[in-house]
Structure 1
Amino acid sequence: MTVLAEHAEHATSPISALSSALPREYVHKSAHSEVLLTGWRAIAPDEYVITAQWPRTHSFYTPVAGRHDPLLLAESVRQAIPLLCHVAYEVPFGHRQIWDTFSYAMNPEAMIVGSSPADIELRVSCSDITRRGRRLAGLTLHVTATRDGVFLGHAEAAFTNQPPAIYQRLRGSYADLDRVTARILPLSPPMTPRRVGRDRFHDVVLSPTSSTDRTQLRTDITHPILFDHPVDHAPGMLLLEAVRQAAYSAAFPRQGFLTAMEMRFFRYAEMDAPCWIETTPAPEGTGTTGHLPVRVAARQNGEDVFTATATVTATAAVTAAAPLRSCTAA
């Protein structure tokens, strides 16, 4: 089970392949400005090309050491999931796409911020496609991302697709948004932004505890990016950000770039009980030179919510726009 159960309420009919910005409803966003995908086309059965554009800067996914935020790749893949469900697999609006696993690894040198927005191409192949009757029940996306022909990274996401009636049954009382909102825990104090790779308290998603390897998840439903629209549980991108900040905190005072992440989701992170984020840096010598793997786990009410491994890679800061050059994956 995962946590990226997003849905759209406004669109009513499928779209054809486009070459300009996609309607926000197809990527399950409320704000037009947060749509990263610009077009799509089928190139073979269950194979697609999706285009995206990343801004030079962003209010939340800010550049890191002169490079685009790596979670822009994660958010691009997240948007690709509902897009392909609706336009390629005839999934009606109102269905929920629920992640089971997610991973990415990237080449930091292809992430350097240039003098214009970054045009990204995602080549997507779909496998493990299952159906319940004529309805899509789930599949796995395999994504290779390039930028101006240079390898940028790859990602993989496995998810299930649930119609409204089944989702309501899965969530029980938590499907009632008003009831969920009334039970949300008060916000706990944030960690120091610098320790988790942030420069604003508003963007910190972890709270300190008496232990340096244990923090508490902060679910600030007023955050305009992480809570783009009302949801009945902690959104998936919030959990990815929690993994990133936990990894940066574990590496502190060393600084770096989150070049890889692997996550497995077990249940929803609810907003009415503390969710504890626990970190375990890998033993010295486990990672290659300059790479620090950090194991991250979330527990709530005594049960695992997710487990993850995040890799923080030391990178030299980039102070000016630089041209891309051919290079291999990190």
Structure 2
Amino acid sequence: MVCIFGLTGGRAPLVQATTAQGDSMSASTFRTDRALPGTAGTPGSAAVPPGARPAPDRPLTSIVPKELVHRTGVAEVMLTGWERVEGDHFTVTAQWPRGHSLFTTGGRYHPLIAAETIRQAGILLAHTEYGVPLDGPLPVEEIRVSTRPGLFGIGWTPATLELRVTVRPRHADDGTLTGLRAETEIRRDGRTAATGLSAVACVTAPEDERPPSRRPALRDGLPAAAPQAPLAPQAVGRLSPLDVVLSPTPRPDRWLLRTDTGHPVFTGRGGRIPDMVLLEAACQATAMTLGRPCTPLDIAAGFGPGTVPAGPCVIGARRLPAAGGTESVLVTGRLHGEPVFHSTVTAAAG
């Protein structure tokens, strides 16, 4: 398969995305129609004939299309390429920016950037390697991440990452793909920075089968409910009220979920509460329960059948018994009185 981007006339160089496996979308590489500054051939190489298309002498970094990872903006895409190694084993490359409104703070990456990277990798491979249509439902069922804090510092350049992904597809008796689980190791500078997994469902009930009372009012395909007043940002380890996803209630262990659809990260598809909103809510509820902002070491989250329909969602939390120098909090989400989300967040003991 060859995808061509750019102008077909004029003087702008075309950019072509080609693949090493013919019609497969795997092993994406990029080249330009003419040499770029600093990428000419090696010294002593023959002159390039007019009309020829010299290849750069080193790889050029680009991101994968935002549609393949369910992002509305290219600035939120973490992945830069992928390649099938053999069978259901893949290598995915990624890059973390040095600055990000949500995922960087105090010279360090927040562990949620690893969760988002793992989420994107599972969705990317579902679409490109397992035939899941781009316009089809692909709800996330589970996300897990375990981090190595020593490898989450921000350096002088963006963090370049290699993801080693093993996909475990799930099929119905008739062979139909019903879901897949992407087990992922994130490596930075040759060392394991995080491990985790994402699981998605490839077949769900049609949207219109939900009872009318469960269907959210939409605005431009997103829930139209206005967010309530947020908690104090410093109480949950955030700098801006825009990044706070919880609103207070009379109970100290209960909060209302704020779904601000204008947030660049907290965006979803089909009028549903985005996965990253719920993961951020779990981290913020953990901070409120422990009485201090904290950096999670491990996050394990499960989502209800399908993904969670948008609506007034109540977040609850309770502390679990401490063990091994860590503290854990169980966070739940209930929509219309029904459980739709649960997560265990573990942090270093304060």
Q: Residue in 2 aligned with 1:312? A: 347
Secondary structure, in 3 states, of the residue corresponding to 1:96?
A: coil
- Aligned equivalent of 2:247, options 180, 186, 207: 207
For 1:59, the aligned partner's letter is: S
> What is the SS of the residue equivalent to 2:206?
helix
Q: Deviations over 1:123-149 (max 9, x none)?
A: 111125315756421111111111011
The match for 1:44 among 76, 86, 89 is 86
1:27-50 CA-partner distances (Å, limit 9, x unpaired)? 121211111100111111011010
- Secondary structure, aligned partner of 2:160: strand
Once the 2 structures are TM-superposed, how far is the Cα of residue 238 of structure 1 from its aligned partner? 0.7
TM-score with structure 2 setting the length: 0.77
**Residue by residue, what CA displacement relative to the aligned partner does 1:272-312 show, whole Å, maximum 9, x if unpaired?**
3x2111110123xx2222x2101111112111011111012
Q: Evaluate the alpha carbon distance shift between residue 170 and residue 138 of structure 1 in structure 2; reply closer, same or farther with a 3 A threshold.
A: farther
Indicate the percent of aligned positions where both proteins have the same amino acid. Answer: 33
Q: How has the CA–CA distance of structure 1 residues 170 and 125 changed in structure 2, closer, same or farther, with 3 Å as cutoff? A: farther
C-alpha distance in structure 2 between counterparts of 1:78 and 1:258, whole Å: 17
| C-alpha separation in 2, matches of 1:68 and 1:233 | 27
Question: 319, 323, 328: which one pairs with 1:293?
Answer: 328
**Counterpart secondary structure, 1:240:** helix
SS of 2:113's equivalent in the other structure is helix
From 280, 284, 289, the equivalent of 1:245 is 284
1:180 and 1:48, CA in 2 relative to 1: closer, same or farther beyond 3 A? Answer: closer
Q: Which residue of 2 aligns with 1:112?
A: 153
1:138 corresponds to: 179
Q: Which has the higher contact order (CA 8 A, sep 6+)?
A: 1
Residue 114 of structure 2 is aligned to residue 73 of structure 1: yes
In structure 2, what is the equivalent of residue 18 of structure 1? 28
Shift of 1:203: 0.8
The count of aligned residue pairs is 293
Cα RMSD after superposing both structures: 2.4
Give the letter aligned to residue 241 of structure 2. Answer: F
Cα distance, 1:167 vs structure 2? 3.3
Aligned to 1:5: none
SS in 2 for 1:162: coil
On the 8 A contact 1:91/1:135 being kept in 2, the answer is no
What's the secondary structure of 1:287's corresponding residue?
A: coil
Does structure 2 conserve the Cα–Cα contact (< 8 Å) formed by 1:256 and 1:314?
no
Q: Which amino acid aligns with 1:218?
A: R
Instruction: Identify, as 1 or 2, the structure richer in helix.
Output: 1
Q: Give the conservation status (yes or no) of the 8 Å contact 1:104–1:261.
A: yes
In the alignment, which residue of structure 2 is the partner of 1:224? Answer: 264
Aligned mate of 1:192, from 232, 237, 259: 232
The one-letter code of the counterpart of 2:170 is I
**Distance (whole Å) between structure 2 residues aligned to residue 114 and residue 35 of structure 1:** 19
Q: Is the 8 A contact 2:285 2:331 kept in 1?
A: yes
Q: 1:42 to 1:131 in 2, by over 3 A?
A: farther
Q: 1:171 to 1:123 in 2, by over 3 A?
A: farther
Partner of residue 160 from structure 1, selected from 201, 221, 225: 201
Q: 1:57 aligns with which of 57, 75, 99?
A: 99
